[in-house]
């Protein structure tokens, strides 16, 4: 008897209500809960079955709603996420890499991380009652993601009542009244800057306060609503990034017209490329330290892009892939009616010519003014088993028009990449006499997705008038090309020689490449 009373008291904590006398003993089913930390299923346990009713009608679930009580935590009623969320008008998404399930409506976005007792509601952290996280569970042949019933339902503005006699939860949808905002209240903050980093394939919304946002999946487009924020410049706008997932981006000021709780909502709409979706190709995260919302994209898997190899290809020679930044519809930086793509191409073509004269295999990601996806550029290098990859760009600083100099990037913690970047940086600075801004690292696509040592050269700043004048001069472009070639040769000289060649050594193993 004492054991049964203890179990009922524990379940009372699970539903957050007192336990009246005379309740019937619930049925149990065998369930295995997944342990995220260990990466395995826990032993099978007998879990109490909870009846779930929505607006008076029993819900049809693809796995029974059950109780889960973790050691050192209160218990909670757990329910399959998709039927409960969709019944309350929400969409469900899944991020396998981060082990996160997202639940979104036109008013709210809830993100639950498997194994974590912290959720995220509209970009802000929220503790899960009782410390019971979302979990994957196995029941018979079925495997489902279970979420806390009361927490999710109430975040979706429903009311949850408990009937202890029936051992059931009764959900009333739309029970919570939305409180209208104070018309005289000021905004919480401003959208101060919108930065598109084509090389990293990120779009960053910089704010002047902690992020508070939601994400709405609209099928062929995605809306990111900054709740309580106004546009810093006060004007709506649009732009077209160089991006394999996002074709166009628009931002506009709204308020109670799209959220009855908010006077101020800045809506950013991202139009998706054909066959791209929010769930498969996009991740939106808040960065409290940066005071920003970061939108990251990943294109869908396509087959490898195979370049056409020249007839004089020498399998015993080193292979260098040269990447002229931007191209086609992706103009890159634009200053004084000069486009970045028109500077990077001639420098790259000349460097390729010089390297071929020296006996190296050279592959170009583009040899004309055409658009090439960043992931396709990396695939080209990987498909030919290149020994090194060098991407050539020009820089810009809209906030400091006097800033000039040369940078070279490598991928973070890539020892070989940093060594290649150092060789190129030193040689280009020596040839051109440009201001040496040193080495940097970044998570750029062409540095991350290539399997060989890779470097990205920023020749100079187009935003600086005096440096732009140099960048367009054929004589200065020749010096840059010469510097790239000398840097490449300096690095390749450190590698083992290939059999049958006086110049080059063996292709690096993937584990050695970076």
Q: How far apart are CA 416 and CA 514, in angstroms?
A: 6
Tokens 């006077």 locate to: 263
- 18 — pLDDT class (breaks 50, 70, 90): very low
Question: Rounded mean pLDDT of the chain?
Answer: 87
Residues composing the chain: 514
- 513 — pLDDT class (breaks 50, 70, 90): low
Which of 121-135, 147-161, 179-193, 308-322 is least confident? 308-322
Q: Which residue from 453, 459, 188 is spatially nearest to 340, judged by alpha carbons?
A: 459
Residue 211 in this model has a pLDDT that exceeds 70: yes
Q: How far apart are CA 227 and CA 254, in angstroms?
A: 10
pLDDT in tens, 286-295: 999 999 999 9
Q: The tokens of 17 are what? A: 């209500």
Higher-pLDDT residue of 310, 189: 189
Model confidence pTM above 0.75: no
How confident is the model at residue 11, as a pLDDT?
A: 37
Q: For residues 412-450, b (16+ Cβ closer than 10 Å) or e, as one string? A: eebebbbbbbbbbbbbbbebbebeebebeeeebbbbbbb
Residue 476 in this model has a pLDDT that exceeds 80: yes
Higher-pLDDT residue of 177, 185: 185
Residue 12 in this model has a pLDDT that exceeds 80: no
Mean per-residue pLDDT for 425-439? 97
Mean per-residue pLDDT for 350-356? 96
Mean per-residue pLDDT for 104-118? 92
How confident is the model at residue 505, as a pLDDT?
A: 38
Q: Residue 485 in contact with residue 348, Cβ under 8 Å?
A: no
How confident is the model at residue 235, as a pLDDT?
A: 83
Q: Is the dihedral of CA 330, 336, 337, 343 positive or negative?
A: negative
Q: The tokens of 164 are what? A: 């202890």
Residues 6+ apart with CB under 8 A from 243: 196, 198, 201, 203, 273, 297
Residues 6+ apart with CB under 8 A from 8: 19, 23
pLDDT in tens, 483-495: 999 999 999 999 9
Mean per-residue pLDDT for 84-89? 94
Angle at 8 between CA 175 and CA 129, to 5 degrees: 50
Q: The tokens of 400 are what? A: 């400091």
How confident is the model at residue 363, as a pLDDT?
A: 94
- Give percent of the chain with pLDDT exceeding 70: 89
- 303 — pLDDT class (breaks 50, 70, 90): low
Long-range contacts: 333-341, Cβ < 8 Å, 24+?
Answer: 333/394, 333/395, 333/396, 333/462, 333/463, 334/462, 335/396, 335/462, 335/463, 335/468, 336/465, 336/468, 338/462, 338/468, 338/472, 340/393, 340/394, 340/396, 340/462, 341/369
How confident is the model at residue 4, as a pLDDT?
A: 37
How confident is the model at residue 73, as a pLDDT?
A: 58
Mean per-residue pLDDT for 204-223? 93
Residue 504 in this model has a pLDDT that exceeds 50: no
Neighbours of 82 (CB within 10 A): 19
Residue 329 in this model has a pLDDT that exceeds 50: yes
Q: What is the DSSP pairing of strand 265-272 with strand 168-172?
A: unpaired
Q: How far apart are CA 290 and CA 363, in angstroms?
A: 39
Per-residue 3-state assignment (H helix, E strand, C coil) for 414-437: CHHHHHHHHHHHHHHHHHHCCCEE
How confident is the model at residue 495, as a pLDDT?
A: 92
Mean per-residue pLDDT for 104-116? 92
- 1 — pLDDT class (breaks 50, 70, 90): very low
Q: How far apart are CA 188 and CA 199, in angstroms?
A: 32
Mean per-residue pLDDT for 329-348? 91
Residue 503 in this model has a pLDDT that exceeds 80: no
Mean per-residue pLDDT for 383-404? 93
* Residue 351, SS3 per DSSP: helix
- 130 — pLDDT class (breaks 50, 70, 90): confident
Q: How far apart are CA 398 and CA 335, in angstroms?
A: 10
Enumerate the β-bridge partners of residue 109. 104
Tokens 């050691």 locate to: 71
Enumerate the β-bridge partners of residue 68. 76
Q: Residue 273 in contact with residue 266, Cβ under 8 Å?
A: no
Mean per-residue pLDDT for 124-145? 90
Q: Residue 513 in contact with residue 453, Cβ under 8 Å?
A: yes
Neighbours of 474 (CB within 10 A): 8
pLDDT in tens, 19-74: 333 445 778 999 999 999 899 999 999 999 999 999 999 998 989 999 887 665 56
Question: What's phi and psi for 30, nearest 5 deg?
Answer: -80, 125
- 332 — pLDDT class (breaks 50, 70, 90): confident
How confident is the model at residue 501, as a pLDDT?
A: 53
Residue 14 in this model has a pLDDT that exceeds 50: no
Rg (CA), the chain: 29
Q: What is the DSSP pairing of strand 436-441 with strand 406-410?
A: parallel
How confident is the model at residue 395, as a pLDDT?
A: 93
Mean per-residue pLDDT for 338-354? 96
Q: How far apart are CA 309 and CA 385, in angstroms?
A: 12
């Amino acid at each position: 008897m004492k054991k049964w009373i203890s179990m009922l008291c524990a379940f009372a904590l699970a539903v957050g209500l007192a336990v009246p006398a005379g309740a019937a003993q619930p049925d149990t089913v065998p369930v295995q809960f997944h342990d995220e930390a260990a990466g395995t299923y826990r032993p099978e346990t007998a879990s109490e079955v909870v009846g779930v009713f929505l607006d008076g009608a029993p819900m049809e679930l693809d796995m029974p709603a059950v109780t889960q009580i973790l050691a050192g935590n209160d218990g909670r009623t757990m329910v399959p996420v998709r039927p409960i969320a969709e019944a309350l008008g929400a969409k469900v998404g899944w991020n396998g890499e981060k082990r996160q399930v997202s639940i979104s409506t036109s008013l709210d976005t809830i993100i639950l991380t498997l194994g974590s007792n912290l959720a995220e509601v509209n970009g802000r952290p929220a503790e899960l009652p009782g410390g019971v996280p979302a979990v994957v569970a196995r029941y018979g042949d079925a495997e489902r993601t279970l979420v806390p019933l009361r927490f999710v339902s109430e975040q979706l503005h429903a009311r949850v009542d408990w009937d202890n006699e029936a051992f059931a939860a009764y959900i009333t949808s739309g029970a919570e009244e939305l409180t209208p905002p104070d018309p005289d209240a000021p905004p919480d903050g401003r959208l101060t800057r919108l930065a598109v980093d084509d090389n990293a394939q990120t779009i960053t919304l910089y704010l002047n306060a902690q992020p508070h946002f939601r994400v709405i999946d609209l099928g062929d487009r995605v809306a990111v609503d900054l709740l309580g924020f106004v546009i810093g410049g006060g004007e709506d706008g649009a732009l077209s990034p160089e991006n394999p997932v996002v074709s166009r981006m628009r931002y506009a000021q709204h308020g109670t017209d799209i959220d009855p709780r908010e006077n101020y909502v800045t809506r950013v709409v991202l139009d998706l490329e054909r066959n791209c979706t929010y769930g498969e190709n996009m991740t939106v995260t808040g960065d409290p330290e940066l005071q920003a919302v970061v939108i990251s994209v990943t294109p869908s898997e396509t087959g490898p892009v195979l370049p056409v190899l020249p007839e004089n290809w020498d399998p015993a020679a080193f292979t260098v892939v040269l990447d002229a930044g931007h191209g086609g519809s992706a103009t890159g930086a634009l200053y004084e009616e000069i486009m970045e793509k028109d500077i990077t191409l001639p420098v790259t073509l000349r460097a390729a010519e010089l390297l071929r004269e020296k006996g190296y295999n050279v592959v170009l990601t583009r040899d004309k003014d055409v658009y090439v996806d960043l992931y396709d550029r990396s695939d080209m290098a990987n498909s030919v088993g290149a020994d090194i990859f060098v991407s050539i760009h020009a820089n810009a600083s809209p906030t400091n028009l006097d800033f000039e100099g040369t940078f070279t990037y490598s991928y973070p913690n890539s020892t070989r990449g940093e060594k290649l970047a150092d060789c190129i940086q030193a040689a280009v600075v020596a040839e051109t006499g440009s201001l040496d801004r040193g080495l940097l690292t970044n998570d750029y696509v062409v540095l991350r997705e290539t399997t060989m040592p890779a470097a990205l050269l920023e020749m100079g700043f187009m935003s600086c008038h005096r440096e732009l004048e140099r960048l367009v001069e054929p004589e200065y472009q020749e010096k840059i090309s010469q510097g790239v070639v000398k840097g490449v040769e300096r690095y390749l000289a450190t590698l083992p020689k290939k059999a049958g060649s006086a110049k080059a050594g063996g292709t690096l193993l993937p584990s050695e490449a970076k």
